[in-house]
Amino acid sequence: MDDAAVGMIVRRECDTQPKSFALRWNVQGLIMEGHVMKYAVELWIACFVLCLLATPTPAQDVPGIEICTRESRLDRRTSCLQSNVEFLQQVVTKNALDAQQKLSAANREIAALKEQSAAATREVAALKDVLAGMEAKIGELLKTRPQRTPDGNPQGK
């Protein structure tokens, strides 16, 4: 079946309806004008928004310090205070663990820097020994070398 036949079938079925309805739901005309995709996208967006609005979101209990003086019943006030104590214990434990990890990392870094410093000190000492040996050789060479006079001739001849 080609597009013209589909359009004819739709027109025949829609002849009982008013003219504006037949023109509005003419499949061939909608495809040609590209309105089918536009209406499909708009329908999809509308359904998506309705689904988002209809979905209930559960309430979340945010951990933290609660004001317990507002509770008038003793058992609720006690449970409120207990939850505050538990929260504070968790915070203290977490902070202690974080501090311990930072301290351990700092100690490892200090040990590595001390090792680098010791290696640099050993290297400087070795360079000083080499320099002292070279200065001694230069001194020996200067003593054994014949001294020249200002006119450029050696002094011994």
List the chain residues with pLDDT less than 70: 1-37, 51-63, 147, 149, 152-157
Burial class (CB in 10 A: 0-12, 13-18, 19+), 28: middle
Secondary structure E strands in 39-145 = none
Instruction: List pLDDT tens digits, range 14-41.
Output: 455 554 444 455 555 555 556 566 777 7
Closest CA to 46 of 36, 54, 58: 54
For 80, residues 6+ apart whose C-beta sits below 8 A from its C-beta are 66, 68, 71
Q: What is the Cα–Cα distance from 69 to 73, expressed in whole angstroms?
A: 10
